[in-house]
Structure formats: C-alpha cells, structure tokens
Homo-oligomer: A and B are copies of this chain.
Amino acid sequence: MKPVTLSIDAMGGDAAPQVVIDGLDIFLGRNSGFAIQLHGRADELKRLLNGKSWSRQCEIVDQPDVVAMDAKPSSALRRAKGTSMGGAIQAVKDGTTAAGISAGNTGALMAMSMLSLRKMAGVHRPAMTAIWPTLKGRSVVLDVGANLEADADQLVEFAVMGESYARAVFGKEKPTVGLLNIGSEDEKGRDAVKFAAEILRTRDLGIDFKGYVEGNDISTGAVDVVVTDGFTGNVALKTAEGTARLVSTYVRAALTSSLLSKAGAALAASGLKDLRNKLNPSNVNGGVLLGLNGVIVKSHGGTDAEGFATAVKLASDLAQSNYMDEVAAGLKRVSKLGISPEAVE
C-alpha cells in the first residue's frame, strides 16, 4: 500500500524544530504507513534527522524562511513563498501530501490556508475547531476564533461541518450537536442563535440536534459538537484553559503545603499521574480550519512532543477519513433548503 504523506511545518512553534522532530518520532513509532515531507531549513533538519530510523520515510524540502510567531497575517501572506509554513500548505494544495500540520502563527496559518486551498463550494466561512476534554471523553467546539461573528446561516454551516468532523475524528456514527447559548429556554438568546436553532430543529439536515447548551455543559460532554461564533468560542476556550491552570495551581499548592501533605502526594503518585495525563493539553492538541479544500491542522505553539504527535495523528485520521465528502454532502443539503435567517423569522 502506498504510504499516506503528510507535510510538516518543521519551523513553526515555540520550540521548533526540535519538538517537531521529537513529535514525529513519537507519531511514527506508533503508526505505520506514513511518509513525511518536512518543510524548513534543510541543513538544520538534516542534522536533527541524523540517525533517526524514519529518516528514509522523510523528504526534506528546503525553505529558508520562517513566519514569525508575532507576524501579522497580512504581512505573512505577502511573504508566504519560501517559508516552512507556506511550503507545507502548498504541498496540500498541489495534492503532493494528504494533510499539513503546523505549530506556527495561527492567524498566518489561517490566512495562508484560506488563500491557498480556497473554501469548499457552499462554505461561506471556514471555522476553527478545538477538541475539548469532557467528563464523558471529548467534544468538538467550533468556531474558536476564525471569525468574529456568525449569523444563523453560518452557525448552521458550522453545525454541518462540525458533525462530519466529529464523526471522522471520534468514530461516532451519529454525533450529537448543541448550540451554545445563555439559558436553555427557547425564548432566550441572540437572534442569530435562535434562528439557527429553528433551522436545525425543523429542517431535515440529518443532524441529531439537541438544542441549546450552556457554558457549563461543554465540560460535562452534554453534546459531541458545540456550535458557536468565533468570538464566544475563543473566549470560552481560553477561559477554560485559564480555569484549569488555576485549579491545577491550587492542587499543587494543596499537596505541597506541609510535610504530611507531601508524603500524601507521594503515596498518591500514581493517581496524580493519571490526573496530570487527563489535564495534559497535549492529549487534546490540534485545531482544524474546517471548510477548506484540504486538511490543515494547527498545533498549539507551545506544545510538547507528545502534543505535536497528537496533532499529527489528528491530521492523519482526517486525511484517511471521508469527512470532506461528508461536509460537501451536508452543505448541499443546506443549500437545497435555501434557508436564510429571513426565511425563518
């Protein structure tokens, strides 16, 4: 069988390229049937690959430039050519690779991906996903920052794309979908959210729509897919990250506050290791800009090797799934209905 090739931005992220190489080490140690196209400074990468068992599965594409983590998307766009990020995306566009992964500048990655891969037919606004740890396992939240606002049509599109994505990533046949709102009553919430709910409730889109969910329902895993606009989704995601960090700090303080509690923590070490694993953002690393003609996965810029491996695994799962066909079919159903917020009012 021909290997599935993935293109990697080797220079993106806070600790690149070392973390990228270490992450690929982990990914390729666990998964077979893949080839890697590594975009970045060839001499630096050659040195790092030296002695790796998988260096023969790996092609280095020399890219002299790197998109700075603080570069503005507009300026990054103008200088995309010759960058490790631009090269990794272009390979997906050309069909040379099945998916691309970068831990670099998020805004630049979104802008370059949109310009290069273009939106799928029927998509008005691509949406950024996050995978969220829950009491039941994992959920998808979208949009977490690709757009500042979303009208009802766009929220419905996000629901269609998110549902297909959840099926591809979680392997669940019929993922459940909820709309993020304040209060669960029908009459509450912003107009766009209410119109979107009306569409999802009444039109036959083949989606298992569970109605409104509130912020606290995300972590319980009330639904598999939580749909919201990019502003609200981004604030929710970062608020959750901040809260988890706050609570972890408290836990650490509690378990080192005295000799006795330190001894207790030592006894409870294996349980606490489980806890660290559960709270480890590496385990849920990987955002995808849904709605483009190609798979690009964004890894957290500050990720460790394990997290980068998670993002690569996500990309490989998507590349081998038929989620793009599913999204296309779902969007066709939406466009056939000819829905618009006005039609529902």
Kindly provide the distance from the CB of A300 to the nearest chain B CB, expressed in whole angstroms: 12
A218 CA / B239 CA spacing, docked (Å): 7
Query: Which residue of chain B lies nearest to A257 when distances are taken between CB atoms in the complex?
Result: B271
Considering the complex, which residues of chain A in the window 176-203 have a beta carbon less than 8 Å from any beta carbon of chain B? 180, 182-183, 187, 189-190
| A219 in complex: contacting residue of B135, B246, B260, B265, CB < 8 Å | B246
Closest beta carbon of chain B to A287's beta carbon, Å: 14
Is A145 interfacial (CB-CB < 8 Å)?
A: yes
CA distance A219 to B245 in the complex (A): 8
Whether a CB of chain B sits under 8 angstroms from the CB of A215 is yes
Whole-angstrom distance between the Cβ of A149 and the nearest chain B Cβ? 7
Q: Mark A222-264, 1 if CB is under 8 A from B, else 0.
A: 0000001011101111111111111111110111111011111
Residues of B within 8 A of A268 (CB): 254-255, 260-265, 268
Closest Cβ–Cβ distance, residue A112 to chain B (whole Å): 18
Q: In the complex, what distance in Å separates the CA atom of A250 from the CA atom of B190?
A: 34
Q: How far is the CB of A197 from chain B (nearest CB, A)?
A: 14
Give chain B residues whose Cβ lies under 8 Å from the Cβ of A232: 231-232, 235
Min distance, Cβ A322 to any Cβ of chain B, angstroms: 32
**Chain A: number of interface residues, binned into ranges:** 35 or more
Chain B CB within 8 A of A48 CB = no
With A and B bound together, what is the CA distance between A232 and B321 in angstroms? Answer: 34
Chain A interface, >50% SS class: helix
A275 within 8 A of B: yes
Chain B residues near A243: list those with CB within 8 A: 219, 239-240, 243-244, 247
Q: Is A220 an interface residue (CB 8 A)?
A: yes
Query: Which residues in B have their C-beta under 8 angstroms from that of A343?
Result: none
| A216 & B242 in contact (Cβ 8 Å cutoff) | yes
Q: Which residues on the B side are within 8 Å of A254 (C-beta)?
A: 268, 271-272, 274-275
- A257 — which chain B residues lie within 8 A by C-beta? 270-271, 274
Which single member of B180, B218, B242, B262 contacts A218 (CB below 8 Å)?
B242
The verdict on A116 contacting chain B, using a C-beta distance below 8 Å, is: no
* A121 contacts partner chain B, Cβ-Cβ < 8 Å: no
Q: Does A207 have its Cβ within 8 Å of any Cβ on chain B? A: no
CB neighbours (8 Å) of A219 from chain B are 239, 242-243, 245-246
A94 contacts B by Cβ under 8 Å: no
Instruction: Decide: A182 near B215, CB < 8 A? Known: A240-B240, A250-B275.
Output: no
Residues of B within 8 A of A248 (CB): 247
Q: Is A172 an interface residue (CB 8 A)?
A: no
Taking the complex as formed, is A217 at the interface, i.e. its CB lies under 8 A from any CB of chain B?
Answer: yes
Query: What chain B residues lie within 8 Å of A241 (beta carbons)?
Result: 215-216
B267 and A260: CB pair below 8 A?
yes
Determine if A279 is an interface residue (Cβ-Cβ < 8 Å): yes
Cα separation A186 to B43 with both chains bound (whole Å): 38
A15 interface hit (Cβ, 8 Å): no
**CB-contacts of A256-298 with B (<8 A):** 256-258, 260-272, 274-275, 278-279
Given the contacts A236-B236, A254-B272, A275-B250, A245 and B264 also touching, CB distance less than 8 Å: no
Q: Please list 6 pairs of residues, one from A and one from B, whose beta carbons are closer than 8 Å in the complex, sorted by A's number.
A: A148-B189, A149-B190, A219-B243, A254-B272, A256-B271, A257-B271
